[in-house]
Amino acid sequence: MMEDHDPKPNTPPDTPPPLPPPVPKPQRPPQQLNRKPEEDVGPPVVQIRNLWTRFGRTVVHQDLNLDIYAGEILSIVGGSGTGKTVLLRQMLGLERPSSGCVRVFGEDVSSASPEQLQRMRNHWGMLFQQGALYSALTVFDNIALPLRELRALPEDVIRDAVLLKMDMVGLGPGDANKMPSDLSGGMIKRAALARALALEPQLLFLDEPTAGLDPDLSDSFVALIQTLHSELHLTVVMVTHDLDTLFALSSRIAVLAEKHVIAVGPSCDVLRVPHPFIKHFFLGPRGQRALEVLEERIARKESED
Ligand SMILES: Nc1ncnc2c1ncn2[C@@H]1O[C@H](COP(=O)(O)OP(=O)(O)OP(=O)(O)O)[C@@H](O)[C@H]1O
């Protein structure tokens, strides 16, 4: 999708023109990757414009721009300290940028009042890496919390909604009264995902969703996210260091380096950007292994289709 359209030579089919000598493709400057997917996907769900973040004299983001479109899974990657978490927190309205703006569903999160933010948050869900569940509440009460906070729903409606969400993430009614300390790592993630989905959000934020899971649990959690993403028509914004998760889930990847987004696009396009971080992150031994797994998955899917 990233290449410009080559004009077709206007010659009759029986007289093919001689093949020109191969011309090396010019390297695209990375910022040219920063454009929307080709299909008509409407206005961005998340729009970040000219964003600067400073902590004292430290500049973390410098004139950062990023658009996230409906229905995609956009993953943010970058080296340690490049500001991925801060950016996620700014999208959630938990931190304000020093300047610039972050719009979610067209509303400016960066200047919203606490009341406006609360209303906006009812349209998105968050799965945090840590502190996923309240340890003093049962699984049921953790998932019911966002519904109860609305102060508008009767308990029987809440009960049905919670059990439905538990079923969606693969938890049974027998898990409802368990405490978080009784759950395995994979079940904690599933319960936290159920809570993130409690208000039926259109937008889901995931911070390191598979961190701390062993490879099998990680694979099944990735498969669950894939299923929910397509069944619920979610837009997903994810921060992850895990290359298997990244390649398996991402529609597009945004790479943070040098204080801004140096490339954003499908993984195959981002991998071609000649930047030292991209080479190091994606094309080292870990990246090669994850790519091989991805290629196997694609080949398997193609042969099934
Ligand atoms: N409240 C704060 N006050 C001062 N500096 C901060 C604050 N929050 C974040 N930072 C700094 O901003 C930079 C970006 O932090 P952030 O946590 O977003 O990085 P990250 O890309 O998520 O890193 P990692 O991959 O290691 O989690 C870091 O240098 C961090 O120390």
148-198 pLDDT, tens per residue? 988 888 899 999 999 999 999 999 999 999 999 999 888 999 999 999 999
Q: In the prediction, which pLDDT does 297 show? A: 66
Which among 87, 99, 243, 228 is positioned nearest to 167, based on CA atoms?
228
What is the 49 CA–ligand 1 centroid distance (Å)? 20
- The letter for the amino acid at 73 is I
Residue 53 clears pLDDT 70, i.e. is over it: yes
Residue 38 clears pLDDT 90, i.e. is over it: no
What is the 153 CA–ligand 1 centroid distance (Å)? 38
Q: In the prediction, which pLDDT does 141 show? A: 96
Atom number in ligand 1 closest to CA 78: 21
C-beta of 80 in contact with ligand 1 (< 6 A): yes
What is the 83 CA–ligand 1 centroid distance (Å)? 5
Residue 281 CA: distances (Å) to CA of 206, 242, 244 = 20, 10, 12
Which residue's entry shows tokens 């950007």? 273
> Residue 279: which pLDDT band, with cuts at 50, 70 and 90?
confident
C-beta of 78 in contact with ligand 1 (< 6 A): yes
Residue 9 clears pLDDT 90, i.e. is over it: no
| Spatial distance between the Cα atoms of 116 and 107, rounded to a whole number of angstroms | 9
C-beta of 139 in contact with ligand 1 (< 6 A): no
Rounded to the nearest 10 degrees, what angle do helices 139-149 and 155-168 cross at? Answer: 120
Q: In the prediction, which pLDDT does 131 show? A: 56
**Higher local confidence (pLDDT), 119 or 141:** 141
- Mean pLDDT across 13-40: 45
Instruction: Say if residues 121 and 82 touch (Cβ distance below 8 Å).
Output: no
Question: Residue 184, SS3?
Answer: coil
Which among 273, 269, 223 is positioned nearest to 245, based on CA atoms?
223
* From 53, 55, 96, mutation site for ligand 1 pocket: most ligand atoms within 8 A of C-beta: 55
Residue 62 clears pLDDT 90, i.e. is over it: yes
Range of lowest pLDDT (24-28, 89-93, 192-196, 219-223):
24-28
| Spatial distance between the Cα atoms of 159 and 141, rounded to a whole number of angstroms | 10
C-beta of 55 in contact with ligand 1 (< 6 A): yes
| Spatial distance between the Cα atoms of 62 and 46, rounded to a whole number of angstroms | 18
What is the 84 CA–ligand 1 centroid distance (Å)? 8
C-beta of 252 in contact with ligand 1 (< 6 A): no
- Mean pLDDT across 88-111: 93
C-beta of 53 in contact with ligand 1 (< 6 A): no
Q: In the prediction, which pLDDT does 282 show? A: 82
**Higher local confidence (pLDDT), 21 or 126:** 126
- Mean pLDDT across 6-20: 40
Question: Residue 194, SS3?
Answer: helix
- Mean pLDDT across 105-127: 90
Q: Which residues contact 220 (CB under 8 A, 6 or more apart)?
A: 186
